Structure 1
Amino acid sequence: MGADAVIMSNRKVADGVELVAAYDKEPAARLDLQASKPQSGKPAHSGNKPLPTLSEIIGDDGPDSLRELLEKQAGNQRGNPAPSVTPTPVAVTSARSHTAPVTAKKTLGGFESDMESPFEHNVTSDAPQSGLDDIRAELASLRNVLQFQLSDMQQQHQSRVKPLQRFLNQQMIDMGISASLARQLVSYAPAQANERESWLYLLKLLSNRLMTNDDDILTQKGVVALVGPTGTGKTTTIAKLAAKYAQKYGAEQVALITIDTYRIAAYEQLATYGKIIGCPVRKAQSGEQLADLLFQFRDKRLVLVDTAGFSQRDSRLISQLATFQQAGGQTIKNYLVVQGNTQQATLKHIIGAYRSIDIQGCIITKLDECYSLGEVISSVIEAQLPVSYVSDGQQVPEDIHVANAKSIISLAAKLYKKYGLNHTNDNTAVNSAQAV
């Protein structure tokens, strides 16, 4: 780096000594002038003592500069002393000792020669590196634009060759179906059918792909737990199921347990439902208490467990799911409760977060608040998650129904026809100048 280089800092590391050196590109005369006149706010060097040499810092009798150290290393490897030349100035940000020599190419007196250095150099120049970063960013931007243009050209080609398939694919996406699932379905559309026949055919394919569990909870015995994020309606859904079961088998055949110790008045809300239905309600604060309560209710035909609602990114969700593993070996059937108006990306992460436990099926709630059902339909189909029940209101127990694939797809198509088409979508009436 030359005689003007200054060692800024040094420290010992596990495999040697790390040195940080720097130099100023300004002329030496100006450096001398600045050295004699300390800058404002910065004290001059105490006693005008010279800066410590490399040997003084690391405590040996080796070369006193980085240049001499490199020359000595090159001379030892060639068997003769290295020529005394002035190396081309470069900006060295750090130098760390390394066990394996690193080959570096350097210009010496107009010639290029390879030499091995025991130091691992981060030899970079700020200005060239910044320029390379700008070039990389611009190339990445151009690549994205080209990919978009190629995709658009492919879509235009498909629109010309198969206009009906392109139209149906866009209709499915507008209804809320994911692009991948829409492409799969459209590929099976009959080639000779008209638009209406093809659309009905795609809806039937969706209905066939949507799995259901029929009335599995209310027709079987055992322990059922409802899990899911906060605000999906788990407690209300448990009350609806308990009331339906009590109407069919009697209130003495059903019991309710809550492990929701986080939400205020969670137990009181469930206890109120239990009092109206006429079934016992208990609270468990640990896996051991849950196992004890399940043993006490072993003579009940159905035990419904209400859980706390956590976000799929909440760390407390893991501890709650672990509670089910400590239920004394009792088999618990878990059902995921999701809202019908949840975003598709959110649904995907919710289903993935609860996959750590064995999920028997799902219950879709708040259908009365939905403007589109394609997102939840697409998510459960791609996750191969059966749908057991759907809920479309707050009335207990009227507003819960056994899931029927044909009815769900039909409702999704009706919502799309009512709110998603161009002539029914208010967004198309926005003034173009205002949009710009």
Structure 2
Amino acid sequence: MKIRRFFGKDMREALNQVKHELGADAVIMSNRKVADGIELVAAYDKEPAAKLDMQAGKAQQGKPGHPGEKPLPTLSEIIGDDGPDSLRELLEKQAGKQHAGRQQAQSIAKAMQTSAPAAPAQPAQQQTQSAAKPAMGGFDDEFDTPSQQSGSAASQGNLEDIRAELASLRNVLQFQLSDMQQQHQSRMKPQQRFLNQQMIDMGISAPLARQLVSYAPAQANERESWLYLLKLLSNRLMTNDDDILSQKGVVALVGPTGTGKTTTIAKLAAKYAQKYGADQVALITIDTYRIAAYEQLATYGKIIGCPVRKAQSGEQLADLLFQFRSKRLVLVDTAGFSQRDSRLISQLATFQQAGGQTIKNYLVVQGNTQQATLKHIIGAYSSIDMQGCIITKLDECYSLGEVISSVIEAQLPVSYVADGQQVPEDIHVANAKSIISLAAKLYKKYGLNHTNGNTAVNSAQAV
């Protein structure tokens, strides 16, 4: 007789190892729990005589032996039930129980079919199948519901992955189709493709560039077409001429911080004083946030010779406007906020409270502002009525296409342009042709490949 030890996570796994290694006739000597599971000690003897002795020993297990002998534990004692003593018989017993359960479920289904009223249009065989399906379904759910639920969750996760993959493939295909369309257009109309890219490089937005290029003459050469596009662009750019300095009323300059509103007001006041006299113009500031804002404007007013006042509320602004009702022009300097600042709303509400006077609002923007920022600025001030805009700091620009494209798309007229800090020399009445010509010169000087000074980037350094 030979003895071997077997280890398993549980009793079932250990018994399966015994059956696989030693066969169904092996005898379990002992069992005990260990740290990792169950330890079984099994014995076997391949000789025929030993098998007979083992069978005889199994027959005497229930009888008391000799005083010094200890009977070997049976498989029933190890498992803890009255099952068979061999692994083969144990497995056969489990299979028999499962078969009996299926027969019981079928008998229940037949009983339900017998007790239920028969449908007139349904065959007997179909009735048996339909009645048996719920019973079997409930029997199977008792054992298979967890696996089915996990399978359903896994299939749901796989479905989400497939949807994400399809969405990604759709985006890639759309990009490839767009690229193929652009390549086809480049082959069919290379000059239009070239002009469109030139307009985009100058700073014009892609939708406006495509719209302008579509009107380019087909028979003209590249230079003629380019000049034609610049003329179209100047025709699309609206201007207000010299509307502030040639009319009477109250004018307020609004816009984000740092655009040069105070300096622009000083330039306009000085121009107006030269034309009509210093006693015909007055300055009001409602900028109570910036340090020394009033002092700066008061210094300009002292040089020009016009009165300067400060208003901290809508009522004070209304009172000052009533005091200056005899003036031909009253210029109001507002606080400069970010287009995302909540104080902008209270600033606009201040204008609404100053009743009795029609205030003309002009938006002041920098010429070197990014196109996306310009769109947000114009959108933030769209709640008030704008008479036009003033473009400042042209002397600091390397490109004008962004601001030109933004005001054209917003249909906002341009009244004045400023190109320096000198008062009052560095402010001019807006002229569309001059602005477009300056934009073309800046693009020719800084935007072309042979003039922009860009160097090729080392791909290894970039990585």
Q: State the TM bucket, normalised to the shorter chain.
A: 0.7 to 0.9
Q: Are 2:462 and 1:426 equivalent residues in the alignment?
A: no
Aligned residue number for residue 178 of structure 1: 205
The AA in structure 2 aligned to 1:260 is: D
Q: Are 2:179 and 1:89 equivalent residues in the alignment?
A: no
Q: Decide which of 341, 349, 362 is 2:376's aligned counterpart.
A: 349
Aligned residue number for residue 407 of structure 1: 434
Tell me, in whole angstroms, the C-alpha distance in 2 between the residues paired with 1:313 and 1:271. 29
SS at match of 2:337: coil
Aligned residue number for residue 273 of structure 1: 300
TM-score, structure 2 normalization: 0.68
| Cα distance, 1:90–1:293 mapped onto 2, change above 3 Å | farther
Equivalent positions of 1:215-364 (< 5 A) are: 215-364=242-391
Aligned residue number for residue 159 of structure 1: 186
Aligned residue number for residue 192 of structure 1: 219
Please report how far the alpha carbon of residue 134 of structure 1 lies from its aligned counterpart in structure 2 after TM superposition: 3.2
The AA in structure 2 aligned to 1:147 is: Q
The AA in structure 1 aligned to 2:366 is: Q
| Cα distance, 1:138–1:252 mapped onto 2, change above 3 Å | same
Aligned residue number for residue 425 of structure 2: 398
Q: Decide which of 415, 435, 444 is 1:388's aligned counterpart.
A: 415
Tell me, in whole angstroms, the C-alpha distance in 1 between the residues paired with 2:406 and 2:432. 14
Please report how far the alpha carbon of residue 393 of structure 1 lies from its aligned counterpart in structure 2 after TM superposition: 0.7
Tell me, in whole angstroms, the C-alpha distance in 2 between the residues paired with 1:283 and 1:89. 79
Please report how far the alpha carbon of residue 89 of structure 1 lies from its aligned counterpart in structure 2 after TM superposition: 3.3
Tell me, in whole angstroms, the C-alpha distance in 1 between the residues paired with 2:154 and 2:395. 60
Aligned residue number for residue 370 of structure 1: 397
Please report how far the alpha carbon of residue 229 of structure 1 lies from its aligned counterpart in structure 2 after TM superposition: 0.5
SS at match of 1:217: helix
Give aligned pairs, total: 335
SS at match of 1:225: strand
Tell me, in whole angstroms, the C-alpha distance in 2 between the residues paired with 1:303 and 1:334. 12
Tell me, in whole angstroms, the C-alpha distance in 2 between the residues paired with 1:169 and 1:322. 43
Aligned residue number for residue 119 of structure 1: none
Please report how far the alpha carbon of residue 137 of structure 1 lies from its aligned counterpart in structure 2 after TM superposition: 2.8
Between 258-267 and 201-210, the greater mean CA deviation after superposition: 258-267
| Cα distance, 1:125–1:261 mapped onto 2, change above 3 Å | farther
SS at match of 1:426: coil
Please give the per-residue CA displacement for 1:285-335, whole angstroms capped at 9, x wherever unaligned.
111111110000000000000001111111111111111111123100000
Q: Are 2:263 and 1:207 equivalent residues in the alignment?
A: no
Q: 8 Å contact 1:90–1:125 — kept in the other structure?
A: no
Please report how far the alpha carbon of residue 265 of structure 1 lies from its aligned counterpart in structure 2 after TM superposition: 1.1
| Cα distance, 1:167–1:428 mapped onto 2, change above 3 Å | farther
The AA in structure 2 aligned to 1:225 is: A
Equivalent positions of 1:85-164 (< 5 A) are: 85=139, 86=141, 89=145, 127-164=154-191
The AA in structure 2 aligned to 1:202 is: L
The AA in structure 1 aligned to 2:145 is: P
Tell me, in whole angstroms, the C-alpha distance in 1 between the residues paired with 2:245 and 2:157. 66
The AA in structure 2 aligned to 1:379 is: S
The AA in structure 2 aligned to 1:249 is: Y
SS at match of 1:151: helix
Tell me, in whole angstroms, the C-alpha distance in 1 between the residues paired with 2:417 and 2:151. 62
Tell me, in whole angstroms, the C-alpha distance in 2 between the residues paired with 1:166 and 1:325. 49
Aligned residue number for residue 24 of structure 1: none
| Cα distance, 1:349–1:125 mapped onto 2, change above 3 Å | farther
Please report how far the alpha carbon of residue 130 of structure 1 lies from its aligned counterpart in structure 2 after TM superposition: 4.2
| Cα distance, 1:134–1:220 mapped onto 2, change above 3 Å | same
Structure 1, unpaired ranges of 5+: 1-26, 30-78, 92-105, 108-122
SS at match of 2:275: helix
Equivalent positions of 1:50-69 (< 5 A) are: none
Tell me, in whole angstroms, the C-alpha distance in 1 between the residues paired with 2:337 and 2:186. 45
Please give the per-residue CA displacement for 1:63-101, whole angstroms capped at 9, x wherever unaligned.
xxxxxxxxxxxxxxxx99x9664455369xxxxxxxxxx
| Cα distance, 1:301–1:128 mapped onto 2, change above 3 Å | same
SS at match of 2:421: coil
The AA in structure 2 aligned to 1:348 is: K
Tell me, in whole angstroms, the C-alpha distance in 1 between the residues paired with 2:368 and 2:212. 23
Please report how far the alpha carbon of residue 391 of structure 1 lies from its aligned counterpart in structure 2 after TM superposition: 0.5
Please report how far the alpha carbon of residue 375 of structure 1 lies from its aligned counterpart in structure 2 after TM superposition: 0.4
The AA in structure 1 aligned to 2:189 is: K
Structure 2, unpaired ranges of 5+: 1-9, 13-115, 118-133
Please report how far the alpha carbon of residue 435 of structure 1 lies from its aligned counterpart in structure 2 after TM superposition: 4.7
Aligned residue number for residue 58 of structure 2: none
SS at match of 1:212: coil
Tell me, in whole angstroms, the C-alpha distance in 2 between the residues paired with 1:133 and 1:309. 49
| Cα distance, 1:357–1:165 mapped onto 2, change above 3 Å | same
Q: Greater strand share, 1 or 2?
A: 1
Please report how far the alpha carbon of residue 388 of structure 1 lies from its aligned counterpart in structure 2 after TM superposition: 0.2
Please report how far the alpha carbon of residue 141 of structure 1 lies from its aligned counterpart in structure 2 after TM superposition: 2.1
Tell me, in whole angstroms, the C-alpha distance in 2 between the residues paired with 1:341 and 1:124. 59
| Cα distance, 1:288–1:135 mapped onto 2, change above 3 Å | same
Tell me, in whole angstroms, the C-alpha distance in 2 between the residues paired with 1:130 and 1:373. 51
Q: 8 Å contact 1:422–1:428 — kept in the other structure?
A: no
| Cα distance, 1:295–1:430 mapped onto 2, change above 3 Å | same
Tell me, in whole angstroms, the C-alpha distance in 2 between the residues paired with 1:231 and 1:89. 68
Tell me, in whole angstroms, the C-alpha distance in 1 between the residues paired with 2:398 and 2:146. 63
| Cα distance, 1:253–1:183 mapped onto 2, change above 3 Å | same
Please give the per-residue CA displacement for 1:230-283, whole angstroms capped at 9, x wherever unaligned.
111101100110111111111111000011111111111111111111111111
